[in-house]
Structure 1
Amino acid sequence: MSAPRTTHAAADGLRFAFGTLTALPVRVTRWDREAARAGMLAAPLAGLVVGLCAAAVGGLLLLAGSGPLLAAVATTAVPAVLTRGLHLDGLADTADGLGSAKPAEDALRIMKRSDIGPFGVITLLFVLLAQVAALTGLYDEGWAHGAVAAAVAAVTARLALTLAARTGVPPARPDGLGATVAGSVPARAAVLTALLVTAVVAAVCGGLFGAYGAYGALHHVLALAAGLGAAQLLLAHCVRRFGGVTGDVFGGLAETAATAALVVLTLG
């Protein structure tokens, strides 16, 4: 009896991950803590699909004769399309809430409004510019560099959400996505997932870059670690300022992690 139940829970988790973290036509059949836990553990898989789609679009444009800049813009646009811009919207709302310097209750009210303030606009501008600039430089080195970077950045973004959903991180509101997933993942499971994803990234990147395999593996692992580190710093700040996490904060964490990973991949 345990095997079918485990399989069913895994399927519910995949539907939760793809149904909440992407705009792919996946129906979420369960919206409870067990499904949320499985879904957040499966979040890196959703990121991998998004990243591969972004890499494919960038590669097709390069194959058609476009330059690295246009391929980079398209690669940056695909995750926005596949999330209906929710992560970017969350980043902007989080920036507005933090930038307001108001008490937690007032800042959360600002974040819930439908408009985007000046802090949100500026943050979106610089984050998107950084992503496009980083991918342009990587595509200029070759399609494989840009494609792998797109995939690693997307996986890092969703892995940051797995870690942010660990036990001990409270929700800032009693409702919404943040309340559903906050604290749903046991800390040990979150860390083990991060270690597993890191090992897979190291193995894949080490195999892809031939003679530079060891350096490629280390470089991409460092990028993943930098992305997770940047997201954790933002998470700690948001918990102090807002008293916990919200759906907007999760979106901000994802974009922060992806951007930091891409920037590190351009270095060296």
Structure 2
Amino acid sequence: MSARAGWRLAVGTLTVLSSGSVDPSPAAARWMVGLAPVAVLPLALGASALSAAGATLGAPQLVTGLLVVAWLALMTRGMHLDAVADVTDGTAAGWDAERARAVLKRGDIGPMGVVALLIVLGLQAASIGAVAATPWGWVLVGTLVAASRWLIAPVCVQVPAMPGSSLGAVYANAVPGWHAVLWSLAGVGVVTAAVIGTGSAWWWGPLAWVPAVGLATALRAHAVRTFHGINGDVLGTAIELGLTLGLVVLACR
């Protein structure tokens, strides 16, 4: 039952696809984290298909990258991108945690949030285009899109929920430390296998994935220090920043 609830929670939280009734419980959240890459397979396959099509048709790299970014935004309702803007604005608000949370929860986007979105989207589009242009690069794009959802795991370990956040209460401490290690190792294994499959040196896999896990862990510490806990925006930001970092690294291989 928990596995089914976790699956529905993963699909309902991470995609625009219908998942039916959702059980927002810590037990479901634990399953959700593990199943997250599988739940977003339609997004990953679409990203791979667009990357392959762009490279095959000889489209400009930036066009290919922008199409993939647009597809991912459409299939996630732009929730993770909105999270990046909200977390950035809340961080820039300064002063104290209460004010930072108030700014984070506002519906509008401030100037710092706009700058953060431009940087993240620009880096993603440029990197996706560069990766897609390489032999079997579309495999790497899809793999990173799927695996990046495991970056939720290190954010949920030994962390309080942001005051007033119902989603934060579901995920805070929902993932045991050994689960986070397990999914991090799974991520490095999957990404490394994809890198080897494209004919690149194996060490590009850990180079792309391990810093992304470190970034997610650092984001957790930042959220505790700045907002006194995590919420859904922090989880979405971990996914987007980790995906961006991995793509930039693989674009340099």
What TM bracket, shorter-length normalisation?
A: over 0.9
Q: TM-score, normalised by structure 1?
A: 0.87
In the alignment, is the contact (CA less than 8 A) between 1:41 and 1:185 conserved in 2? no
In the alignment, is the contact (CA less than 8 A) between 2:52 and 2:132 conserved in 1? no
Query: Which residue is equivalent to 1:188?
Result: 178
The count of corresponding residues between Structure 1 and Structure 2 is 253
Which amino acid is the alignment partner of residue 3 of structure 2? A
Structure 2 residues not aligned, in runs of 5+: none
Cα distance between partner residues in 1 of 2:21 and 2:213: 27
Which amino acid is the alignment partner of residue 61 of structure 2? P
Query: Which residue is equivalent to 1:222?
Result: 207
Query: Which residue is equivalent to 1:176?
Result: 166
1:161 aligns with 2:152: yes
Q: Decide which moves more: 56-65 or 129-138.
A: 56-65
Cα distance between partner residues in 2 of 1:221 and 1:148: 16
Query: Which residue is equivalent to 2:52?
Result: 59
Of residues 20, 41, 49, the one that matches 1:27 is 20
In the alignment, is the contact (CA less than 8 A) between 1:127 and 1:259 conserved in 2? yes
Structure 1 residues not aligned, in runs of 5+: 1-7
Which amino acid is the alignment partner of residue 78 of structure 2? G
Which amino acid is the alignment partner of residue 206 of structure 2? V
In the alignment, is the contact (CA less than 8 A) between 2:90 and 2:101 conserved in 1? yes
In the alignment, is the contact (CA less than 8 A) between 1:159 and 1:194 conserved in 2? yes
In the alignment, is the contact (CA less than 8 A) between 2:223 and 2:230 conserved in 1? yes
SS in structure 1 of the partner of residue 230 of structure 2: coil
Query: Which residue is equivalent to 2:234?
Result: 249
Query: Which residue is equivalent to 2:100?
Result: 107
1:33 deviates by: 1.7
1:231 aligns with 2:216: yes
Cα distance between partner residues in 2 of 1:178 and 1:154: 23
CA displacement, residues 172-209 of structure 1 (integer Å, 9 cap, x when unaligned)? 12432222111111111121122123223323432x22
CA displacement, residues 153-173 of structure 1 (integer Å, 9 cap, x when unaligned)? 32343111122122x111112
Q: TM-score, normalised by structure 2?
A: 0.92
Of residues 139, 153, 163, the one that matches 1:148 is 139
Q: Decide which moves more: 21-30 or 80-89.
A: 21-30
Cα distance between partner residues in 2 of 1:189 and 1:139: 32
Cα distance between partner residues in 2 of 1:209 and 1:57: 17
* Distance of aligned partners of 1:48 and 1:165 in 2 relative to their CA distance in 1, 3 Å threshold: farther
Percent of matched pairs sharing the same residue: 35
In the alignment, is the contact (CA less than 8 A) between 1:156 and 1:261 conserved in 2? no
1:47 deviates by: 4.2
Cα distance between partner residues in 2 of 1:141 and 1:202: 16
* Runs of 4+ off more than 4 Å: none
In the alignment, is the contact (CA less than 8 A) between 1:72 and 1:136 conserved in 2? yes
Query: Which residue is equivalent to 1:68?
Result: 61
* Distance of aligned partners of 1:46 and 1:221 in 2 relative to their CA distance in 1, 3 Å threshold: farther
